Chains A and B, each alone.
Chain A
Amino acid sequence: MTASSTGPLLELDNVTISYQRRRDRVDAVRGVSLIIQPGEAYGLVGESGCGKSTLAMAVMRHLPRNGILSGGQVLFEDRDLFRLNQAELRRVRGGRIAMVYQNPESALNPTLKVGEQVAEVFRLHRALRHRPAAEAALDMLRKVRIAEPDRVVGLYPYQLSGGMRQRVVIAMALAADPALLVLDEPTTALDATVQADILDLFTDLRGEMKAAILFISHNLAVVQQVCDRIGVMYGGELIEQGTVAEVFKRPRHPYTAALFDCIPDFGVRKSDRRLAGIAGGVPDLAALGTACLYEPRCLISRQLCRVEHPDLMRAGSRHLSRCFFHAETPAPGAAARVRPEAVPVPDVTAGIPLLSLHGVGRRYGRAHILKDIDLEIAPGETFGLVGESGSGKSTLAKVISGLVPPSAGTVALAGERVAGQVGKRTGRQRRDVQMVFQTPDTTLNPRKKVASILGRAVRVLAGLGGKRKRDRSSALLGDVQLPVEMLRATPDRLSGGQRQRVAIARAFAGDPRLVILDEPTSALDVSVQASILNLLLDLQRESQAAYLFISHDLAVVRYLSDRIGVMYLGELVEVGPTERVFRPPFHPYTQALIAAVPRLGGAAPERPVSLDKPAPGPSERPEGCPFQTRCPRAYDRCRAEAPPWRDAGEGHMIRCWVALDALEASQSAALKPRRVQAPLPIGRRP
């Protein structure tokens, strides 16, 4: 290996990457220059479609067939990656540069044992023989803290949880002790609790290994936790670069500042402020003019921005910005405070609840997917439902909407019991409960135009026909802030955010009283998420509809919800007003969920409860409290008997054997902020 001791590890010099599309050529990455020093962690952020992943793939020299490096150089250890021959390239790949990707589901070969998949790297790059390679693989799995590594080596990927799979992928990447680790959204597909564990693992591994990191993520808080320096990409260009400390304290590009404002800070509520989305969308790379790419969406743009394309300019000693007016970049939060939100506060205690569930359960064979759910939602209320994947949130949503009939208990709408199956409900009852799903790509018929998608909903749900149907469709489109021309478009012509707006418009076609939102923004960029959340608030103010909002993102749930329910293994373990749920005492499980939220701002509470151990499946439900197998406070009684509901006041209920004052005392102590790992100096040689 020709690892030089002085030069940078990776140097991108004016890199332009183009995709050939029929006749024209589109530059997906344009003139990006950046340097990563040995041992350094560099974060790359930006919305989808801004070229982050293309850049990562260029570092692996693994571009799609129609992609070419049309300008510049990628130098790794002083060698031009794009001039290596195949044999040299193979030695670099996996040996010197390794990669971890977003989707651990598909990154592992389903037909090979995971131990073998890790051992393969040792045989290839370390020239180990079969037996020593297998032992080295076992060691590696231990190093990435997989529980029971001896058992796991013999398992196939489908037998592992998502977090375990990602650990295997990480073990595979670290196996050859690479000099550079490319991480492309490595935690995006994981539960928040698992994400927190994996991020901790990266932080720890940085102490043990000397690999530099190129970390690609749309999640600023995650980048902040792991990286030393950060680069922000927009429209294929690097528009800002600096140390994490500087950029997070004082961004020098309006786009970066706007990205910060899109994210609901953990603790911000809808009554505090409206989220600032970023108007418009990412630029069309096929039709770029000479202006600043961000100009159409920029809040501080001027005449100069419309005629001249800015170069990267110095905005601080180690800080670069591609903005003429970088000194005027508004501080994060400044734009957002302009419009405080007036939100109606529903009266939860008075009157008949809109929705009430009593003893609702759902089982398949011997497995309880839902167990003994009691829940009430008031008219106009927003009820947030949180929990890890597999906790039964979506099944509960389907039971309420009648898509999955309950096997026990009753569902009542406005005091009136409704049938378990949607087909047996009355038209009014069906209209009252509507659903919006996570992926609008698959819920909208790709062959139908928006007009026909909405028209059908209007006809079925509102009973309108002819011109009145068309008028109502147009009005609905206006309500979700889409132009009327979109009636003629098919879903594939719309962006992800626009499709979700259509799905929301469809749900509102028949004046529903309860809209179930199942992770409606999880697949969207933060800027789009912000505008969708704002839209949901606007629609609620006008329609008085209640929301059941399901999300794994606690910050979003906290922002939007009046009350929150926490689910674990098909049971509700805590219910209460939002601010009460986020204040001690909480259920130990809630505490673990809250501790796992990656936060901007550098301070996070200790993680006293690590959920490293995966949840048992519904068929292996433990005796007593469902959480006892992972709970640090569990004692004998928890293992024997189901815990009681304890009343913490103001409608805040916790299902736990531990006395509330004992919970509160220890949890308040744990909440004292600690410094998150301080950003490391650049070029640090470990």
Chain B
Amino acid sequence: MLRFFGRRLLLLGVTLVVASVLIFAITNVLPGDVGRIILGPFAPQDAVARLNAELGTDRPIVIRYVDWLTGVARGDWGRSYAFDTAVFPLVVERLGRSLTLAVSGLVVLVPLAVAAGVAAARREGGIFDRVLSTVSLAFGALPEFVTGVFLILVFGIWLGALPIQALPPDGAGPLTVIAHLVLPVGCLVLLLFAYLFRMTRASMIEALAADYTRTAELKGLPQRTVIWHHVLRNALLPTITVIGAQIGWLVGGLVVVETLFKYPGIGSLIHFAATNKDIPLLVGCSLAITFVFALGNLAADLLYAILNPRVRHGRHAH
């Protein structure tokens, strides 16, 4: 297990280095003349050159990368052109908010989808299975700005039961915070439920039909033990991988949900950075999201290995 963990950690390091090179290359090399981009096509050439020298973008690429990377490691992620503040604290603040939203979403989504998947698989083709499959797929197919607006209309405006802004006022108590998160989390759950539910359902059906499940039943184990002890460990494996892959998206890809619910997360920040050509900010956001994504996958891999001895032991040991 330790060796497995070590290998995974090493892999994580490699992933991050490769990602940093890519991010650096895309944001610092591909755009070409950074000064020209910032100042626009009509600015005089000497102003552009002066800005480039000021920004350091006229130096050789490798030196710029190493410089940049040491800065990143020290927490100096540069200054945002648009906000004219340090990137790092800004990104950390926004990332914290996005994580809150994503984690709240997962905490609601995962048990719900897994439980529903298990229930549907046990009565495959039954009324619960068919209704839930259809309804969840319909919601999964609707874009989040439709479901989001729908939720806001019904719960926020007609019923007036819930706040439509996700960001609670400063100094709000935990109940208020949760109340503010209900609608955006609901929107996320509706969006992602079908995917996880169907994944769980499919692997549950497979595991329920497996010979080892029959063995467990014919041992005389009660249904509950068969499901919890024998089936779920096997059936959840693919679902775990899927959840791991979703984490990155949940953190960085929620531009629409964040905008709808006026929630200043990292998704809207990276969107802002991109539209305003704020390259240091864009780089910072990308780095943060990459990091979260890699960590999410690492966590999923570890959980997978805990449940699956074969992976843990590395390879076929016959």
B-binding residues in A (CB < 8 A): 60, 62, 89-95, 98-99, 101, 103, 106-113, 120-121, 124-125, 156, 158-159, 161, 169, 172, 617
Given contacts A99-B218, A108-B212, A109-B212, 4 further A-B contacts (CB under 8 A): A107-B211, A107-B214, A111-B308, A617-B318
B307 close to chain A: CB less than 8 A: yes
Q: In the complex, what residues of A have CB within 8 A of residue B318's CB?
A: 159, 161, 617
Interface with A: B55-63, B219-227, B239-247, which one?
A: B219-227
Given contacts A111-B309, A156-B310, A161-B318, whether A106 and B212 have CB atoms under 8 Å apart is yes
A-binding residues in B (CB < 8 A): 210-212, 214-222, 229-230, 233-234, 307-310, 313, 316-318
Q: B215 near A124 (CB under 8 angstroms)? A: no
CB-defined A-B contacts under 8 Å, sample of 27: A62-B218, A90-B221, A93-B219, A94-B219, A94-B220, A94-B221, A99-B218, A101-B211, A101-B215, A106-B212, A108-B212, A109-B212, A109-B215, A109-B216, A109-B230, A109-B233, A111-B233, A111-B308, A112-B230, A112-B233, A120-B229, A156-B313, A159-B317, A159-B318, A161-B318, A172-B219, A617-B318
Q: In the complex, what residues of B have CB within 8 A of residue A120's CB?
A: 219, 221, 229
- Least distance between A307 CB and chain B CB atoms (Å): 42
Q: In the complex, what residues of B have CB within 8 A of residue A156's CB?
A: 309-310, 313
Q: A110 near B219 (CB under 8 angstroms)? A: no
Q: B211 near A106 (CB under 8 angstroms)? A: yes
Q: In the complex, what residues of B have CB within 8 A of residue A62's CB?
A: 214, 217-218
Q: In the complex, what residues of A have CB within 8 A of residue B229's CB?
A: 112, 120
Q: A103 near B212 (CB under 8 angstroms)? A: no
Q: A107 near B317 (CB under 8 angstroms)? A: no
Q: B220 near A110 (CB under 8 angstroms)? A: no
Interface majority SS (helix, strand, loop, mixed), chain B: helix
Q: A158 near B316 (CB under 8 angstroms)? A: yes
- Least distance between A596 CB and chain B CB atoms (Å): 21
Q: CA A672 – CA B51 in complex, angstroms?
A: 100
Q: CA A98 – CA B220 in complex, angstroms?
A: 9
Q: B220 near A92 (CB under 8 angstroms)? A: yes
Least CB separation from B211: chain A residue: A106
Q: A93 near B310 (CB under 8 angstroms)? A: no
Least CB separation from A117: chain B residue: B215
- Least distance between A512 CB and chain B CB atoms (Å): 35
Q: In the complex, what residues of A have CB within 8 A of residue B308's CB?
A: 110-111
Q: CA A90 – CA B225 in complex, angstroms?
A: 12
Q: B212 near A107 (CB under 8 angstroms)? A: yes
Name the residue among A98, A112, A125 with the largest chain B CB count within 10 angstroms: A112
Q: CA A15 – CA B185 in complex, angstroms?
A: 56
Q: B220 near A90 (CB under 8 angstroms)? A: yes
| 8 nearest A-B residue pairs (beta carbon) | A94-B220, A106-B211, A94-B219, A93-B220, A109-B212, A90-B220, A156-B309, A111-B233
Least CB separation from A91: chain B residue: B220
Least CB separation from A390: chain B residue: B318
Q: In the complex, what residues of B have CB within 8 A of residue A89's CB?
A: 220
Q: In the complex, what residues of B have CB within 8 A of residue A169's CB?
A: 215
- Least distance between A92 CB and chain B CB atoms (Å): 7
Q: B233 near A124 (CB under 8 angstroms)? A: no
Q: In the complex, what residues of A have CB within 8 A of residue B309's CB?
A: 110-111, 113, 156, 158
Q: In the complex, what residues of B have CB within 8 A of residue A617's CB?
A: 318
Q: A93 near B230 (CB under 8 angstroms)? A: no
Q: A108 near B215 (CB under 8 angstroms)? A: yes
Name the residue among B215, B220, B316 with the largest chain A CB count within 10 angstroms: B220
Residue in B217, B220, B234 whose CB lies within 8 Å of A95? B220
Q: In the complex, what residues of B have CB within 8 A of residue A109's CB?
A: 212, 215-216, 230, 233-234
Q: CA A98 – CA B233 in complex, angstroms?
A: 24
- Least distance between A480 CB and chain B CB atoms (Å): 34
Given contacts A110-B234, A111-B233, A112-B230, whether A93 and B218 have CB atoms under 8 Å apart is yes
Name the residue among A92, A106, A113 with the largest chain B CB count within 10 angstroms: A106
Given contacts A90-B222, A158-B316, whether A107 and B215 have CB atoms under 8 Å apart is yes
Q: CA A113 – CA B233 in complex, angstroms?
A: 13
Q: CA A91 – CA B220 in complex, angstroms?
A: 6
Q: CA A107 – CA B212 in complex, angstroms?
A: 4
Q: In the complex, what residues of B have CB within 8 A of residue A99's CB?
A: 218
Given contacts A90-B220, A90-B221, whether A110 and B212 have CB atoms under 8 Å apart is yes
Q: A111 near B218 (CB under 8 angstroms)? A: no
- Least distance between A619 CB and chain B CB atoms (Å): 9
Q: In the complex, what residues of B have CB within 8 A of residue A161's CB?
A: 318
Q: B220 near A124 (CB under 8 angstroms)? A: yes
Q: CA A259 – CA B272 in complex, angstroms?
A: 79
Q: In the complex, what residues of B have CB within 8 A of residue A92's CB?
A: 220
Q: In the complex, what residues of A have CB within 8 A of residue B222's CB?
A: 90
